Amino acid sequence: MKRWNLKWNFVIVLGASSILSACGSVSNEESSSPESYLYVWQFDPDENDDPNFLSVINSDLDFENYGALVTTVPTTDVRGGAHHTSLVLPSSGFLFANDYKGNSSSIFDTRNTAAPIIIQTFKNKGNYNYAHTFSELGNGNILGVFQTQDFDNPIAGGLVEMTTDGNVVQTGDANSSDPDIFIRPYGLTMAPEHDRAMTTNFDMLQTGLGEHIQIWELSSLTLLASIAMPEAPDQWRQNPYEARLMANGKSVMFNTLRCGLFVLEDITAAYSEIHFVHSFEGAEICALPVRSGNYWLQTTQSQTNPDNNAIVVLDVHDPLQPVEVSRLIMGSGFFPHWMSPDITGSRIVLTGNGEHLSRRVMILNFDEATATLSIDPRFGAGDEFGSGVMLDRQVWPHGETGPASAHGAVFWPPAFSD
């Protein structure tokens, strides 16, 4: 996995030791700051009581207080369900995070790594509403995927390029010339060397079924093509969900919500074929993947078979013929959903749903030599069901707001974005 050539100004936060001490069993004699943090986007499971907030957690393996909560940054009145952040932290340090149910997004400035601040909250950008996915462009701006235009979900949304402080640079309309094609842009992957991007198609408001993906000219946000999904059983072909650029820089692998796996052969071609290459049989929902070199790590969930609550590792050196090589079974009450890697690619933050996983943030270790995943037992105090930083606490640094759940989570320093 590639690494950033970081141009960060590392900031020592005066008084950080006292902040840490207030969060439990932390020495006041620490003379340095952690060299790795997690930013975790959290919400009140009751949805209507307390605002969303961003947690800062020490994720430095060599630091004495590994897994300690450093601070929290609440929004003012945004509540309903913290959802996606950028898939990895932008190199600029400006983290975009949405509350999809509330049709609201927030921008956090994390350049002071231990003490982020919120700089803006917005509902829409022009006619574009329900932001879902954010990715950093090569020029440092942020490209946002918006599901719809106007407020009652009448038509497809599109892409919006924004500066790091939220100003609109340009927009691109996802409406197809074919009125029979249902589009609600969802996920995004970019191939900047070829001036191309691809969006997937799943409607979070559930007004229709996505059966196409879209190809864009990245520099101008011009829609080039809406490509139909290939023949496959409906539960595997509908609702293209999350996509990642492959190691060859041209192919795009993507999963559907109901656990089909597909490959767009060439994002640079005028028209590229989509291949159905794999299914995660027995799983009912497949959420965020991570591509690490020639491996595809896929979260899978099942309400009926705990063995399919797992992260499945596929060898995808030939994207058209994936081969399962291992899986980490999470078990009952652990429905894995969100994953994001650190700068080395060897550590992955995991959040999710279910009785047990919704109450914690976990770190997984990925050994590329053996293509296996394991749970980091050192991260967080955990409970009788496993390790992790627990979220079912009553008191947070910003107040007595009670238990929380997590969705988006990313490491600092920033990881390479596929």
Q: What is the mean pLDDT of each run of 10 residues along the chain (418 residues)?
A: 36 35 38 89 84 97 96 86 95 96 94 97 95 97 96 90 98 94 98 98 95 98 97 94 97 98 95 96 97 98 97 97 98 98 98 98 98 98 97 96 96 88
Alpha carbon separation from 1 to 31, 255, 373, 389 (Å, rounded):
32, 21, 16, 26
Return the pLDDT at 48.
Answer: 64
Residue 197 lies in a domain: yes
Containing 412, the helix (H) or strand (E) segment is strand 405-412
Residue 9 lies in a domain: no
Radius of gyration of the chain (CA): 20
Q: Which of 82, 53, 85 is closest to 69 using CA atoms?
A: 53
Q: Are 241 and 189 in contact (CB under 8 A)?
A: no
Residue 280 lies in a domain: yes
Residue 7 lies in a domain: no
Residue 216 lies in a domain: yes
Number of domains in the chain: 1
Containing 373, the helix (H) or strand (E) segment is strand 372-375
Domain assignment of residue 88, given as a range: 16-412
Residue 11 lies in a domain: no
DSSP string for 131-170: EEEEEE-TTS-EEEEEEEESSS--EEEEEEEE-TTS-EEE
Could you tell me the sign of the dihedral formed by the alpha carbons of 394, 106, 154, 232, in that order? negative
Spatial separation of the C-alpha atoms in residues 184 and 205, rounded to whole Å: 9
Largest CA distance in the chain: 65
CATH number at residue 263: 2.130.10.10
Return the pLDDT at 418.
Answer: 66
- DSSP state, 230? P
Residue 341 lies in a domain: yes
